[in-house]
């Protein structure tokens, strides 16, 4: 049973299914993870380095700027803080009791007062007086690295440097790393795809050879195996797969050769046996007919035995003729190629079936214009006659049998439908096999050889067509599709899969 491929859910992307796609994706993903790890490590290392630099600057300043905030204004001196040697953005604060004064250095040595919120005062008050740097967010200034020192008047002096330059440096690093890593991923992904494609070239040859073998009809007929896969290095995984495939192809090729030789011997035996049986069967039939025409008194038991000999010889003659026909088609005996009026052929075959089975209802559904094809008229007449005989033999009297002929885009379509009891489901897959009977006892009593539908299949296939059956209780339809003109090389070549498809 063929399982249909699963469709991906809407909006859900499935990983690549090919080995090449998986290897390429895996390499790119690993490289992306490595880039992320390098980027994160570099960012943390740079941030730590820059923050330590700020801490060193804070320790070196020793709260100088904050100490200058202690001076009060006098007549000979204003209260401007000392900003000498202080970089832009330097923060200074003096805490004494409940009072606090804070300022920040602007450009060109200017100083701006900073209004501290209650939260800022609380955070500054909680800083340890260890002269070490601590990260703090001020409401009016943002994130700062600050250090607290004890003043001369039992007050607290706080000096801070902004973290914005550090953050800007880290952001620039992230942009640079993102651009560099993105370009590296694109280039690496392209090169990885080419490298994987080149590395898997031997595996593609193995796959191509395996697919070639899978597409060949291995069930019957002569099969030419493909050339072995070239193996560059048998020690690699791909080389081991190629070696195993070549070994398997060798075993399969040997098995197919032995099977083909066995089939040829069987065909020759069937043809020779059928040919040799024709003469003795004809002689038996002739002697039985001669004995039945004897004018003298013949005991009833003897007459009955002669009747049985005559009927069985007739049935055996039909079987021999059918076997010879199948053997000729199997051997590639060319069929006739001539215009055939298929409409007239169906009319004649139905008239013959009506004369043989008057208890059935025979209906015709034919197109207004004559349907003409190229083929072997005698063999096509035999195939249609076998289909009608099959419907007559395996359905009770009174069954309606409808014969339809139509011309559509697929070619010529001929169907024989009946409303009989149907064909058992377990028999349908092998209904076109040789010596297959639905009811062995009745079939033999009716003179069936079990070769009628096999001949239909062989003749239709030899004409480049197809035949199928659909059956259920109350309706059975045999459908034959024929091309208007058979292929240039038709005959045994179209029967290579006959035994497999017919279940022989």
Residues 288, 246, single domain; the answer is: yes
| Domain assignment of residue 118, yes or no | yes
| Domain assignment of residue 206, yes or no | no
Please indicate whether residue 277 or residue 79 has the higher confidence score (pLDDT).
277
User: DSSP string covering 134-195, please?
Assistant: EEEEETTTEEEEEEEEE-TTS-EEEEEEESHHHHHHHHHHHHHHHHHHHHHHHHHHHHHHHH
The answer to whether 450 touches 437, Cβ cutoff 8 Å, is yes
Residues 268, 344, single domain; the answer is: no
Please indicate whether residue 459 or residue 488 has the higher confidence score (pLDDT).
459
CA-only gyration radius of the chain, Å: 49
What's the rounded Cα separation, in Å, for the pair 502 and 504?
6
E strand or H helix that includes residue 355 = helix 342-356
Residues 363, 394, single domain; the answer is: yes
| Residue where a domain stops, chosen among 270, 303, 331 | 331
Please indicate whether residue 32 or residue 490 has the higher confidence score (pLDDT).
32
Domain with 290 in it: what CATH number? 1.10.287
Residues 45, 174, single domain; the answer is: yes
315 pLDDT more than 60: yes
Q: Which of 279, 259, 257, 277 is nearest to 269 (CA)?
A: 277
**Tens-place pLDDT, residues 178-228:** 999 999 999 988 998 888 888 777 777 777 777 777 777 666 666 777 777
| Residue where a domain stops, chosen among 148, 170, 199 | 199
Count other Cβ atoms within 10 Å, centred on residue 488: 7
What's the rounded Cα separation, in Å, for the pair 452 and 105?
110
Percent over 90 (pLDDT), the chain = 19
User: DSSP string covering 239-291, please?
Assistant: HHHHHHHHHHHHHHHHHHHHHHHHHHHHHHHHHHHHHHHHHHHHHHHHHHHHH
Domain assignment of residue 497, given as a range: 335-501
SS3 435: coil
| Domain assignment of residue 192, yes or no | yes
Residues 123, 194, single domain; the answer is: yes
Q: Which pLDDT band holds residue 500 (cuts at 50, 70, 90)?
A: very low
Residues 300, 406, single domain; the answer is: no
SS3 65: helix
What's the rounded Cα separation, in Å, for the pair 56 and 161?
11
| Domain assignment of residue 4, yes or no | no
Mean pLDDT of all residues in 136-143: 89
Residues 194, 223, single domain; the answer is: no
Residues 292, 367, single domain; the answer is: no
Task: Provide the number of structural domains found in the chain.
Answer: 3
pLDDT at 449: 63
pLDDT at 440: 45
pLDDT at 61: 78
Asked which of 117-121, 275-279, 310-314 is least confident by mean pLDDT, the reply is 275-279
E strand or H helix that includes residue 400 = strand 400-408
Count other Cβ atoms within 10 Å, centred on residue 147: 26
| Residue where a domain stops, chosen among 138, 167, 199 | 199
**Tens-place pLDDT, residues 399-415:** 999 999 998 777 889 99
What's the rounded Cα separation, in Å, for the pair 360 and 418?
10
């Amino acid at each position: 049973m063929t399982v249909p491929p699963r469709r991906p859910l809407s909006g859900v992307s499935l990983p690549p299914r090919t080995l090449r796609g998986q290897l390429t994706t895996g390499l790119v993903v690993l490289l992306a993870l490595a880039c992320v790890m390098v980027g994160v490590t570099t960012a943390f290392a740079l941030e730590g380095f820059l923050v330590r630099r700020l801490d060193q600057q804070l320790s070196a300043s020793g709260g100088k700027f904050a100490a200058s905030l202690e001076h009060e204004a006098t007549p000979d001196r204003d209260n401007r803080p000392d900003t000498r040697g202080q970089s832009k953005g330097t923060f200074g604060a003096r805490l004494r009791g409940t009072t606090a004064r804070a300022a920040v250095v602007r450009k060109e040595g200017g100083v701006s007062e900073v209004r501290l919120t209650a939260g800022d005062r609380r955070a500054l008050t909680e800083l340890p007086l260890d002269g070490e740097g601590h990260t703090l967010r001020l409401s009016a200034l943002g994130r700062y690295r600050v250090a607290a020192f004890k003043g001369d008047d039992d007050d607290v002096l706080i000096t801070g440097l902004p973290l914005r330059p550090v953050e800007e440096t880290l952001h620039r690093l992230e942009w640079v790393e993102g651009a560099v890593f993105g370009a590296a991923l694109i280039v690496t992904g392209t090169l990885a795809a080419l490298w994987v494609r080149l590395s898997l070239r031997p595996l593609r040859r193995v796959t191509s050879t395996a697919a070639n073998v899978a597409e060949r009809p291995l069930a019957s007929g002569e099969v030419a195996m493909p050339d072995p896969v070239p193996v560059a290095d048998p020690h690699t995984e791909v080389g081991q797969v190629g070696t195993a495939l070549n070994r398997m192809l060798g075993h399969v090729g040997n098995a197919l050769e032995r099977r083909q030789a066995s089939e040829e011997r069987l065909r020759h035996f069937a043809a020779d046996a059928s040919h040799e049986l024709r003469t003795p069967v004809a002689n038996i039939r002739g002697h039985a007919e001669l004995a039945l025409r004897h004018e003298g008194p013949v005991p009833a038991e003897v007459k009955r035995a002669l009747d049985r000999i005559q009927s069985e010889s007739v049935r055996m003659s039909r079987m021999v003729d059918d076997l010879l026909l199948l053997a000729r088609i199997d051997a590639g005996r060319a069929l006739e190629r001539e215009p055939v009026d298929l409409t007239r052929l169906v009319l004649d075959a139905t008239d013959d079936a009506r004369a043989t089975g008057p208890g059935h209802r025979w209906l015709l559904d034919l197109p207004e214009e004559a349907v003409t094809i190229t083929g072997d008229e005698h063999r096509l007449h035999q195939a249609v006659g076998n289909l009608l005989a099959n419907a007559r033999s395996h359905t009770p009297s009174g069954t309606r049998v409808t014969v339809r002929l139509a011309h559509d885009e697929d070619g010529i379509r001929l169907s024989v439908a009946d409303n009989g009891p149907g064909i058992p489901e377990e028999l349908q897959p092998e209904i076109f096999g040789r010596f297959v009977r639905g009811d062995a006892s009745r079939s033999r009593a009716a003179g069936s050889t079990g070769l009628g539908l096999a001949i239909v299949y062989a003749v239709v296939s030899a004409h480049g067509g197809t035949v199928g059956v659909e059956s259920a209780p109350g309706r059975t339809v045999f459908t034959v599709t024929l091309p208007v003109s058979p292929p240039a090389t038709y005959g045994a070549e179209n029967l290579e899969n006959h035994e497999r498809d017919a279940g022989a």
